[in-house]
Amino acid sequence: MAFRILYADPQWRSLQTRLDALIDGPHFAQNKQTDRTRAGMVCVDGRAAFVKQVKTRGYLHGLLVGLTGSRGRRALRGAALLAADKFCHPRPLLVGEARRWGAVRATYVVTEALRAPRVLSEATLGRRYTPAFRKEASRQVAAEIRRLHDAGIYTRDMQETNLMVERAGERFVLYFVDLEDFRAVGRVSWRRRLTNLVHLDRSIGRFVSRARRLRFLYNYLGARPSRSEARRIVRDYLAIRARVERRWATRNLTRA
């Protein structure tokens, strides 16, 4: 297969010939594996990086991906969107596609390794930190997600594993790490905002109490709403959550 580079930092360009060997090697620190996706940390000449490999479902799917844009191309667009509005994200180092007979068979996205990342629940909402610490963390993270939406940027995969946090004194640096799912939509609608919050709540709800989840929502809104406004928000939220749950149930049934 031929490897087509979509973007490469000069210091990482030579990695293109070693990607598969690194992913299959004994020193690949894997943190995700599905039927088509593998992701994890590698160390190259003393430098750490995060590698994500996504294979296409077959030749025809690979042709379609080549026409509509691979995950690598979407990741580069997402990184540019976030950088333009100064949102923190891991910097792309090498992005490329493995192609055969005109079809994309796999996409590779290599990004810089974060220094001391923690997923959202562990770093800001877990029990190991004081209540005052968690309260401030909730405020800061919610405000950054609100700023993302206010900037006209929406992600299709707002899950806690895609939000990495690094502590910097009494503040936090929030990194958006799943770059290929970000879109510029001009104005993020109320429905899309709530959909992102529902996705986040579904992924983080098993870790935190209802009171803390509600506080996160109020932090996102900027203030505690009136009783009538709160009822409207809850009604809209529950309707979207029910729709998301039905979609996931249908998807799981199809896979089974």
Question: Same domain, yes or no, for 166 and 181?
Answer: yes
Say if residue 227 is exposed, middle or buried (CB neighbours under 10 Å; 0-12, 13-18, 19+). Answer: exposed
Asked if 196 and 154 count as a contact pair (C-beta separation under 8 A), the reply is yes
pLDDT for residue 221: 92
pLDDT for residue 159: 87
H-state helical runs in the chain: 19-24, 59-68, 71-84, 120, 131-150, 190-204, 210-221, 227-255
Question: Same domain, yes or no, for 129 and 251?
Answer: yes
The tens digit of pLDDT for each residue in 29-41 reads: 988 888 889 999 9
The chain-wide mean pLDDT, for the chain, equals 86
pLDDT for residue 148: 97
Phi and psi (nearest 5°) for 38? -135, 135
pLDDT for residue 151: 96
A 10 A CB-CB count for 98 gives 21
Average of per-residue pLDDT across 237-252 = 83
Question: Same domain, yes or no, for 181 and 82?
Answer: no
Question: Same domain, yes or no, for 6 and 35?
Answer: yes
Average of per-residue pLDDT across 201-230 = 82
Which residue type, as a one-letter code, is found at position 231? R
Question: Same domain, yes or no, for 222 and 176?
Answer: yes
CA distance 176 to 158: 9
Which residue type, as a one-letter code, is found at position 109? V
Question: Same domain, yes or no, for 107 and 147?
Answer: no
Question: Same domain, yes or no, for 39 and 154?
Answer: no
Question: Same domain, yes or no, for 138 and 103?
Answer: no
Cα-Cα end-to-end distance for the chain: 32
Residues in CB range of 200: below 8 A, 6 or more apart = 145, 158, 159, 160, 163
Model confidence at 207: pLDDT above 70: no
SS3 49: strand
Q: Which residue in this structure is represented by tokens 């390794």?
A: 113
Domain end among 112, 132, 157:
112
Domain end among 51, 83, 112:
112
CA distance 222 to 231: 17
Confidence band for 1, pLDDT divided at 50, 70 and 90: confident
Report which of residues 141 and 85 the model is more confident about.
85
Could you give the number of structural domains in the chain?
Answer: 2
pLDDT for residue 160: 83
CATH of the domain at 187: 1.10.510
Average of per-residue pLDDT across 20-35 = 88
Q: pTM score > 0.75 for this model? A: yes
Domain end among 80, 112, 144:
112
Model confidence at 105: pLDDT above 80: yes
Rounded (10°) angle between helices 131-150 and 210-221: 40
Instruction: Using a pLDDT cut of 90, give the percent of the chain over it.
Output: 41
pLDDT for residue 172: 77
CA distance 192 to 185: 10
pLDDT for residue 108: 94
Model confidence at 5: pLDDT above 70: yes
Q: Nearest to residue 197, comparing CAs of 167, 231, 239, 228?
A: 239
Stretch among 69-73, 186-190, 193-197 having the lowest mean pLDDT: 69-73
pLDDT for residue 127: 59
CATH of the domain at 56: 3.30.200
Structural domain of 144: 118-255
Report which of residues 240 and 210 the model is more confident about.
240
pLDDT for residue 254: 59
Question: Same domain, yes or no, for 83 and 153?
Answer: no
Model confidence at 125: pLDDT above 60: no
Question: Same domain, yes or no, for 138 and 249?
Answer: yes
Question: Same domain, yes or no, for 84 and 181?
Answer: no
CA distance 194 to 217: 10
Asked if 156 and 71 count as a contact pair (C-beta separation under 8 A), the reply is no
The tens digit of pLDDT for each residue in 169-188 reads: 667 788 999 899 999 998 99
Joined together, the tokens standing for residue 48 give 């750490």
Joined together, the tokens standing for residue 213 give 């989840």
Residues in CB range of 108: below 8 A, 6 or more apart = 16, 19, 51, 52, 53, 72, 94, 95, 96, 97, 98
Question: Same domain, yes or no, for 95 and 159?
Answer: no
